[in-house]
Amino acid sequence: MSKYLVNKFLYTVDRDPELVDRYRDDPAGTVDWWERDMANTLLNCLAAERSTWLAFTPEEGRALREHDHVRLFELGAHPFLTLTLFIAMFERDHGPLEYQKAYARAMQHIQLPYPDIAT
């Protein structure tokens, strides 16, 4: 399980307008590129000082490649990060608050206690 890395993906994509559109338009390609080239980047450090051990589980990679926000929630990804990025990608295709409400409807089967988001 690598909740931290899923969160790192959501966080680093969300803060970069170019990456937001790239992930919207080509989710599988963006996730593959990011895991290969970016996942081990230590933020604010030289490229040579990268980490050596970070990788998605197959299920995490699948959820990210398929824009599956419900599965990301079930896997314990930080819900604020997922919501913010998915609003950025998909709100534009909907009327006011339509996307946010549909996002919640897709999760109606999820009961308390929610999955643990601790990293």
| Binding interface with other proteins (CB under 8 A) | 4, 7-8, 11, 14-15, 17, 42-43, 69, 73, 78-84, 87-88, 91, 97, 100-101, 103-105, 107-110, 112-114, 116-119
Q: Please give the Cα distance from 95 to 106 (Å, whole number).
A: 17
CB of 99 to other proteins, least distance (A): 10
| Structure tokens that stand for 75 in this block | 């896997």
Contacts of 58 (CB under 8 A, 6+ apart): none
First to last CA, the chain: 10
Which phi and psi (to 5°) does residue 117 adopt? -100, 5
